[in-house]
Amino acid sequence: MNFTHKLFFKLLVFLILISILPLLLAGWLSYNHSSKTLNNEIDKEAANVLEEKLTTLNLLMNDLQRMAEILAKNNIVSTFLNNQDGKDKYYQLFTQLDPFLDSLQPIRPETIGITLISDKQLIYFYGYSFHPDKDPFLANSWMPDLSQIGNAPYITSLHARPYDQRNSDQQVFSFVQQIWSQTFSSQGVLVVDFPVEVLEQWFGGKTAQSASGTFIIDPKGNILYPQMPSALSREYVKIHNQQVNSITLPNGDHYRVFRKTVTQIGWTIVSYFPEKDLYAAIYNYRDVIITILGISVLFCLLASLYISHRTARPITKLAELMKKVEGGDLNQRFPINQRDEIGQLGISFNQMIQRIQELIEDVYIEQREKRSAEITALQAQINPHFLYNALESINSLARRNKQHQISKQIALLGKLFRFSISTFTEIVPLKQEIAYVKHYLLIHQLRMQGTEEFHYHIQIPYPHHELYTIKWILQPIVENAIIHGLEPQRNGTILIKGEVHGEDLMISVKDNGAGIAKNTLEKILFQLENNAETLTKYEKKVGLYNVQSRIRLHFGSKYGITIDSSPGEGTTVSLLLPRRITTDEKYVNRR
C-alpha cells in the first residue's frame, strides 16, 4: 500500500497543517527580519575596522614621504647625490650623514635600515652592515622599475636582505622613492626597510586563536600579515576576491570577509569576522523558535503514533507476514492476541499457511520420486554392464595371440566399464570422473598412434578432486571433441580445466580442432537450453543433451552447458556445476 494512503500519514498531515506550519511561518519571518538588521550592523562594523587600518597605512605613507622630503632638502644628502669627487669625498660624507639620519629615524623608529643610492651607483647605508660583494643594489628582483613609478612612492613585496652582512635572510618589505638633489641636477633612490614583524605592531593584537582578524596582501598576491597561522586559511583569502562575501570552511565555520585595496601602494586589506559571533543574538532567538517548534512537533507525532499503533499495527503485521509468505517463507504465523475480527482473520491466515505447507510437501515428495525415476532411466542409456564380461574374454584371446596393442586397448575399455558398474549412486567424487575420462583419452591415443598426433592436458587442482558431482558428464564432452573436432584434421590437443568461483565449479573442455559453424552452433545452443530433456528421453540423445538434462534435473536451471566455438579455431564446452563437498541429497536434488 502506498504510504500516502495510510491512516498514520493522513493524521500526521492534519496535525502539521493546524500546528506546525504556523509556527514555521512565524519563525521564518522573525529570523529573516533579524538577519537583515544584523547584516547592516556587520557592514558598519567592517567599514569602521577597515577605516582604522587605512588610517594606519596613510600615517605610514605620510611619515615616509615626509622623511623623503626632509632628505631631499638636506644639503649633505644633496651633496651626496651630486658627488663627482670619487671615493674620498664619498667616505667623508658618511660621517656627516650618520648624525643626520640619527635625528631622522625617530619619525619611524621601526625601520631597520635606510639606503641611499645615487645615480653614480654610490651607496650610503644606515642601520645595518652593507655587503659590498653582492649584485648591484638596484638589480634586486624586488626593486620596482624606476622608470615606471616616477616620483611616486612604492612599497615592495616581502624579500630577503642579501645586501646585509649580518641578517641576509631576514624578511622585510621596503619603501622605495626617487629623490632629487636641491639643484635637480642629480637624483637617487631612497630605500627604507621594515621588518615583517612591524605589521603585527600596526595591525596586531590578534593571536592564532583569534576568531576575527586582518590580512595584508601585497600587489603580487603575497600575504604580508599575519605570518602566524590564523583562523581563516590563507588560500581562502587569495581565492575569494570579492569586496564583500561569505566563506564556509571545510569544518563548517562561516565567515564574513571584507576587503579594500589601497591604490596608492597597491596593498589590499582583508578583514574577516566569524558569523557565529556576529549572529549570536539571532542564533539564540532561532534556537528558542526551534525548541518550541520541536516540542510541538514531538507532541503531534507521539499522538499520531499512539492512535495509529492501536488501530493499524495488527493489520500492518498481517500484511508483513503475507509478504514473507509470498517470498517463500511458510514458517510465518500470526500471533492471536485479540478476539475481534482481526483475530479471526489471523486464525484463517494461519490455517491457510498450514494447508499450503502440507500441499507443497506432497508435491515435493512426488517430484523427487519422479526425478529419481528419470535419472535412473537416463543412466541406463549409457550403463555398459553387460559388455564387461565379453571384453574380458576378448582380452584373454588377444593376449594369447600376442596382440598387445589390442590387449591394452581392451584393458582400458574394461576399466571404463568397471567404473560404470562400480557404483550405483549418481553423485560421485570428481576424481572418479577425472580417472574415467583419462582412461577414455588413453584409448583414443592408442587408436590414433602412428597416424595422428593427439595430446591432452588435465588442469584441475587436486583440492577440487574431492568435490562431488554427477557421473558421466565429462566423457561425452571429450568424445565429441575427439570425433567432431580433432579427427577431421587428424591432430590436435584437448585441454580440461577446472576452477572454483565462490559456490560454483566451472569445468571446461577445450580443443583446437575444426570448430562448429555459426548456424549449427546456434541450433545446438537452442536445443540445449530448451529441448535437452525431450531429446534425451524420446530421441535417445546420449551426448551433450544427456549431460545437460541430467545436470538440470539434479541442480536446477542455473547450471548446465555453454559452448563457444568458431570454425577453424576449435571449441570450448563449459560445464557450470555447484561446488559440493557432500553427497547429501538435500544439497543436490533441488531446482
- The pLDDT score that the predictor gives to residue 94 is 82
User: 549: closest CA among 522, 567, 531, 524?
Assistant: 531
Query: Structural domain boundaries of the chain?
Result: 54-275, 330-381, 454-578
Q: State residue 549's pLDDT score.
A: 86
240 has a pLDDT exceeding 60: no
Assigned C-alpha cell, 39? 547584516
The per-residue b/e assignment along 437-476, b for 16 or more CB within 10 angstroms, e otherwise, is bbbbbbbbbeebeeeeebebeeebeeebeebbbbbbbbbb
Q: What is the pLDDT, as a whole number, of residue 233?
A: 60
Sign of CA dihedral 458, 462, 464, 469: positive
CA distance 255 to 252: 10
Residue-level pLDDT at 508? 95
Mean pLDDT of 201-218: 66
CATH of 54-275, one of 1.10.3470, 3.20.16, 3.40.50, 3.30.450: 3.30.450
Q: Is the pLDDT of residue 195 over 70?
A: yes
Amino acid code (one letter) for 341 = E
| Contacts within 8 Å (CB) and 24+ apart, 35-39 | 35/279, 35/282, 38/278, 38/279, 38/281, 38/282
Per-residue pLDDT, averaged over 15-38, amounts to 72
Computed on alpha carbons and rounded to an integer, the radius of gyration of the chain in Å comes to 49
At 462 the three-state DSSP class reads: helix
d(CA 398, CA 393): 9
Residues of the chain above pLDDT 90, percent: 12
Given a cut of 60, whether residue 384 has pLDDT beyond it is no
Give pLDDT, residue 407.
Answer: 67
What are the pLDDT digits (tens) for 536-549?
665 655 678 888 88
Average pLDDT in the chain = 78
Return the pLDDT at 24. Answer: 72
Q: Which fold has domain 454-578?
A: Heat Shock Protein 90 (3.30.565)
How do residues 315-335 score in pLDDT, each as one tens digit? 777 777 888 888 878 788 878
Give percent of the chain above pLDDT 70. Answer: 74
**Average pLDDT rounded to a whole number, residues 477-493:** 86
DSSP-derived 3-state class of residue 163? coil
What does the pLDDT average to over 274-288?
73
Q: Which residue has the higher pLDDT, 385 or 52?
A: 52
Lowest mean pLDDT among 207-221, 267-281, 461-475, 500-514: 207-221
pLDDT digits (tens, 9 = 90+) for 395-420: 565 666 666 666 666 666 666 666 66
Amino acid 331: pLDDT: 82
Name the band, by pLDDT with cuts 50, 70 and 90, for residue 190. Answer: very high
Task: Provide the 10 A C-beta neighbour count for residue 574.
Answer: 16
Cα dist from 333 to 319, 320, 354, whole Å: 12, 11, 9
Q: For residues 429 and 449, which has the higher predicted lDDT (pLDDT)? A: 429
549-582, pLDDT tens digit by residue? 888 888 888 899 999 999 988 999 999 999 998 7
Q: Is 584 exposed, middle or buried (0-12, 13-18, 19+ CB in 10 A)?
A: exposed
Q: What is the pLDDT of residue 342?
A: 73
What pLDDT is attached to residue 209? 42
Instruction: Give the number of other Cβ atoms within 10 Å of residue 209's Cβ.
Output: 8
CA 562 – CA 567 distance, rounded (Å): 17
* pLDDT one-digit tens code per residue, 81-129: 888 766 667 777 888 888 888 888 888 888 999 999 888 888 888 988 8
